[in-house]
Structure 1
Amino acid sequence: RVVRGCLDKGRTLNSRKGICDFMSNGKFHMRDPNNQLHVIKNLKIAVSNIVTQPPQPGAIRKLLNDVVSGSQPAEGLVANVITAGDYDLNISATTPWFESYRETFLQSMPALDHEFLNHYLACMLVASSSEAEPVEQFSKLSQEQHRIQHNSDYSYPKWFIPNTLKYYVLLHDVSAGDEQRAESIYE
């Protein structure tokens, strides 16, 4: 129902707008259990389907090649000129391709057993308020997530911790749903 409701409105569930609105200027503020404020810069949240496949090596190589090819030094940058014999070599003081390469490499590398890059940290379970029993739907989704995480048939994705953080999102369409019912379900 959630997917159908989004598609009926011309929206997709891949949109991260709204999920990341709690960040300002690339800084995320959080408090630890001791109520100490911590600022995390450039936090990135990747929202993806729970059933995924590891990236294919050929596709990763092509993506990295494209990133490097598309990264050019900024216009007007003064290059350092080094003379070697009869040759004048223009050496750029910056390497704009490296930042792009590193970012793409870290995002596209598969999750490995002894690395924690690209491991799933949490799970967002979404149910529609138009479901007959949204709380029961959350329970089914939670059981399905647990089955996928702990079943040996699913070697990918990798999970950061066995007891996954779960975020329950009750999706309500104010133009088509009963707001009182949605509020009571939320409570």
Structure 2
Amino acid sequence: MAIPENSQLLLVNPVPSYLNQLDDELAGQMLEQFLRLSSAADQARVPRYFAVSQDIDKREAWLSIPCEKNKPRVFHFGHDRPVWSNADLIRAMLQEDREQLFICGFWLDDVVAAAALEAQSLGFNTHVIVDLSLSFNPQTRQTSFDRFSQFGIVPIALQNLLYEWMVKTEDDGCRKDLETFWKEQKRLDRTPICDRLNGSD
């Protein structure tokens, strides 16, 4: 179960240019969910790290905005190199001493999957947030999940993550806020668009 004090997030290329490749309705739902995840993580005091291709800038337009000004949260990697090629990112996340790692971003079938697979060898208990990790090629989505299963990587829906953070939070005020985020996500997951977010893109 996801425990806030033992959790951290890695968001891979959370930039709106990827949403331009989706239809307006799906792009809107993705944006809403990225914002919900970010707000919930801040309430639960779960650190958010960002792995961003070197050719991406304009942070104010990202789908999730780094919050801490006094601590490096954004780490770049070459577009032809893996996420974990940045040794500073590895060092920063290991220093958190939080073994539960939740990864999401673009795209599941290349950068996100590779990051998740390599995270296991770094000692993380790795999860992929499935409704925030769309596939560039929907036909390869199940193949990615098959590989995750083979290597012990756990797929998790955003609704499940928010619920588990909520029930494992001792602070009453924080738990109330997380309950609001969880209920909002439950309502979204009842809509037809959720089939495209969670199953086939």
- TM-score normalized with structure 1 length: 0.29
Q: Bigger radius of gyration, 1 or 2?
A: 1
- TM-score normalized with structure 2 length: 0.27
